[in-house]
Amino acid sequence: MAKYISPEAFKRIQDFEEEFFLIDTRPEADFNEWHVKDAINFPFGASDDTTEEDISKFTTREGIKYDDLIVTICAKGVTSFKFAKELEDMGYGEVVTVEGGMEAWSGVYDVVPIATSGEDVVIIQMQRRAKGCLGYLVGSKRSGVAAAIDVSRYTDKFVEAASKHGLKIAQVFDTHVHADHISGGRSMAKRLNVPYHLGNKAVERSPEFDFSPLANNQVIKVGEIPVKALHTPGHTTEMTSYLIDGEAVITGDSLFLDSIGRTELEFNAEDAKTGASLQYESLSNKLLSLPERVKVLPGHFTVKEDGSTLNAIPGTPLFSTIGSVRESNEALQMDEDSFVEYMFDNLPSKPPNYEDIIALNLGRRELAGDGEAIELELGPNRCATSEEPMLAE
Q: What 3-state class would DSSP assign to 41?
A: strand
Is 133 one of the catalytic residues? no
Asked if 326 contacts 288 with a C-beta cutoff of 8 angstroms, the reply is: yes
Could you tell me where the DSSP H helices lie in the chain? 7-16, 28-33, 52-62, 79-89, 101-105, 155-164, 185-192, 272-281, 322-328, 336-343, 354-361, 370-377
Closest to 147 measured CA to CA, from 156, 159, 157:
159
N- to C-terminal Cα separation, the chain: 51
3-state secondary structure of 69: strand
**Nearest by Cα to 253 from 300, 289, 319, 217:** 300
Tell me the C-alpha to C-alpha distance, in Å, between residue 65 and each of 23, 43, 88, 140: 14, 20, 12, 52
* Cα gap 118→294, rounded to integer Å: 13
CA distance 157 to 129: 13
Helix (H, G, I), strand (E, B) or coil at 243: strand
Q: Which of 115, 66, 78 is nearest to 4 (CA)?
A: 78
Distance CA 136, CA 162 (A): 10
d(CA 339, CA 332): 8
9 sits in the region (left: phi over 0; alpha: psi -120 to 50; else beta) called alpha
**Which one of 39, 74, 260, 383 is the catalytic residue?**
74
What 8-state DSSP symbol labels residue 152? B
- Give the DSSP per-residue string, 251-262: EETSB-SSSBB-
Residue by residue, DSSP assigns 347-368 as: --PPPTTHHHHHHHHTTSS--S
Residues labelled catalytic: 74
